[in-house]
Amino acid sequence: MEEKSYKEYLNHITTFIFDVDGVLTNGDLHVTNTGELLRIMNVRDGFALKFAVNSGYNVAIISAGTNDGVKIRLEALGIKTVYLGAHKKLEKFYEYIETNNIKTENILYMGDDMPDYPVLKVVGLPCCPQDAVAEVKGISKYISHKNGGQGAVRDVIEQVLKVQDKWVF
């Protein structure tokens, strides 16, 4: 049986779910002398997230990280569901889709490391940044040409919205 191209899944996506560290950030942590952990996010990823929310897509975040600044930033983009401290991501994933009555085949999930693996295995379109770990790349139907924190999120959102005729122009 011939495997489907990832592009065949784009028309069916209604929901985007993303990890934070290594996906919305490059995975680096800047540690201040007070122990605060600082992350850098890409403004173009932010634009795409806000545009997806404003276009009626479900957008959620599932991260093991617990940074309040990250939550404030994501909520400012209009993302209502931000799970932080989610060490068992699959549990939060199922909670989210059951609460919102979403089918797994309509979900694009982007993760970069082993904690994302269980969720990537059950979604319709598992994706990862170019610099994801080998195991995640091995099960992803789409590997962005962009690294985490450097436009990978924008890449997948833009592709879905363009195929569905909902992108900016």
Annotated binding site: 19, 21, 112
Detail the residues annotated as belonging to a binding site for Mg(2+). 19, 112
Detail the residues annotated as belonging to a binding site for substrate. 21
15 vs 52: CA distance, rounded Å: 9
Backbone phi, then psi, for 37, in 5-degree steps? -100, 120
From residue 115, give the alpha-carbon distance in Å to each of 64, 73, 124, 138, 152. Answer: 8, 23, 18, 14, 18
91 closest CA partner among 119, 127, 60: 119
CB of 19 closer than 8 Å to CB of 123: no
| Residue 21 CB coordination number (10 Å) | 22
69 Cβ contact list (under 8 Å, min separation 6):
38, 39
